[in-house]
Structure 1
Amino acid sequence: MRVLLRVEHPWPLLRGRLVDRYQRFTAEIELDSGERIRAHCVNPGRMEGQVRPGARAWVSPVPAASKRKLRYTWELVEEDGRIVGVNTVAPNRVVGELLAARVLPGLRRFRALHREVAYAERSRVDFLLDGATPHYLEVKNCHLRYADGRGYFPDSVSARATHHLRALTEVVAAGAKATVLFTIQRPDIEAIRPSILHDPEFAAAARAAGEAGVRFRAVTIQATPQALDVIREIPVELAPYQTHAHARWQAEKLPWSGWRRDPRRVTPAEG
């Protein structure tokens, strides 16, 4: 398999099995050593089909100097025999290295690269490529795949993502360039769509942004316990579509999605 760019994990990952996901941002995992640990789940979405107790999971340790309470971060999970990246922060690191290596056509010519730049109203863009024309680049992580072989974003309502699209539309109208780059942390997706089923407002905003001149691109990533390998670029499909089959596919994944109440946080009134 050809690799455009390899980004190794900053620390060796530890393997185990998922016990459960609690309160959205906590995952309990039993490591291969037998130790049960709690890891930070960076992903705010429902993670459809990926919260299956007993599934293989990998975590990274937090640096010793960190004061963070949860000493691990959930990085990868196995879904239907395929390793999927679930850390939604990791793609920004990958894209930063992609840009620095100048391997993506259309994103090679810039004088300087700036991160987390404030712009528009209540917005920060992931990357600003400083050149003859400013180029705003927003990164969106995707890991949801349905039976049609396509990826879908988001996997739950995301007012924040919709706001980003509208802000990018404004900067394009003012004469700048703007790109939304979907990073798909699995290699088995042939194209990606805005999810009308999960967030019709985002899907409509994406179509409007595309018509206004915002560019949409996507790359697939092979996630392994050693690295995140950028494999190839795939199409982004903004056109509307029927969602009858998608609702059925979602229902099939529903038992292995979301999170539940943390049993350690039962209040006295609840017993």
Structure 2
Amino acid sequence: MAVILLEKTGLVAGTLVQRYKRFLADVQLADGSVVTAHCTNTGSMRTCWEAGDRVLLERAANPDRKLEFTWLAVARGDGWLGVETGMPNRVVAEAARRDALPGLAGLRDVRTEVKYGSERSRIDVLASDADGRSVFIEVKNTTLKEGSWGLFPDAVTERGTKHLRELQAMVREGHRAAIALFVHRGDVDRFDAAREIDPLYAAELDRAAEAGVLVLPLAVRLVTSPENGDLWRLGWELTGLLPWVRRG
């Protein structure tokens, strides 16, 4: 049974007016005022929002920050979609610590943001398995939707392709490696690479799987509930793995 791995409380609800300049989103609050929130997702965010959508904002802990709010989630269809790009790494690391990461059981000694590889990268999550082998886990926030598919990436990503090469190098050295596609929305039921958007990434993902890199399309559920007054609570669950179904 899935459990909430991480949770945010004291969130402010509003209605999205617009997202612009990659980093900014205007949101109308319940009292009619409009605030500008920070958007951490700098990608295209295609299929992720429309004006009039319900959103949840987190108030900044630092009162001196230029933008008071950060945009965390948006209601899409019958569920919610995660916007804050730092959460996937945190949720996957917490799942690994609890031995609750779908597709990778028995992890321990979990660390994050560890330097590795010949291309000067940092691995999102580094752990050990029951046999003492290192397990390198790269996490990718996955929000693009087409039909019933969750797709990654939503734009050409040379950096993402480089990460796949490095994971393959770790496997050749005798370690274990995984790419965790954090499907940050609940309205899809399968995963594939966005082959039309970035065919090089898609081909590298296929090669990585053949080389022994685990491909883990994580099914994510965002759980919301009201708190006292007008505030909200938001939690993240991992409910299993989506099937990897190649399109076309």
TM-score by length of 1: 0.81
* Cα displacement string for residues 44-85 of structure 1 (whole angstroms, at most 9, x for unaligned residues): 2211122311111111111136x4322211111122343211
2:201 aligns to what? Answer: 202
1:118 aligns to what? Answer: 115
Counterpart pick for 2:61 among 41, 60, 63: 63
Q: Distance in 1 between matches of 2:183 and 2:107?
A: 25
1:152 aligns to what? Answer: 151
Q: Which amino acid aligns with 2:164?
A: L
CA contact (8 A) 1:138 1:180 kept: yes
Structure 2 SS opposite 1:210: helix
Counterpart pick for 2:241 among 224, 233, 236: 233
Compute the displacement of 1:122 (Å): 2.2
* Cα displacement string for residues 121-153 of structure 1 (whole angstroms, at most 9, x for unaligned residues): 121110111342111001111122222x11111
1:28-67 pair list within 5 angstroms: 28-64=26-62, 67=64
Q: Distance in 2 between matches of 1:152 and 1:119?
A: 27
The question of 1:102 aligning with 2:110 is answered: no
Q: Distance in 1 between matches of 2:65 and 2:198?
A: 33
CA contact (8 A) 1:50 1:78 kept: no
CA contact (8 A) 1:156 1:198 kept: yes
1:259 aligns to what? Answer: none
The CA RMSD over aligned residues, in Å, is: 1.8
For structure 1, the residue ranges without an aligned partner over 5 or more in a row are: 243-271
Higher helix share: 1
Q: Distance in 2 between matches of 1:146 and 1:183?
A: 16
The count of residues paired between Structure 1 and Structure 2 equals 236
The question of 1:142 aligning with 2:130 is answered: no
TM-score by length of 2: 0.88
Q: Distance in 1 between matches of 2:51 and 2:124?
A: 33
Higher strand share: 2
2:89 aligns to what? Answer: 92
CA contact (8 A) 1:19 1:54 kept: yes
Structure 2 SS opposite 1:208: helix
Structure 1 SS opposite 2:178: strand
Label 1:233 to 1:164 Cα distance change in 2 as closer, same or farther (>3 A): same
1:164 aligns to what? Answer: 163
* Cα displacement string for residues 187-222 of structure 1 (whole angstroms, at most 9, x for unaligned residues): 232211011121111101101111111110122122
CA contact (8 A) 1:91 1:139 kept: yes
Q: Which amino acid aligns with 1:35?
A: S
For structure 2, the residue ranges without an aligned partner over 5 or more in a row are: 225-232
Label 1:35 to 1:224 Cα distance change in 2 as closer, same or farther (>3 A): farther
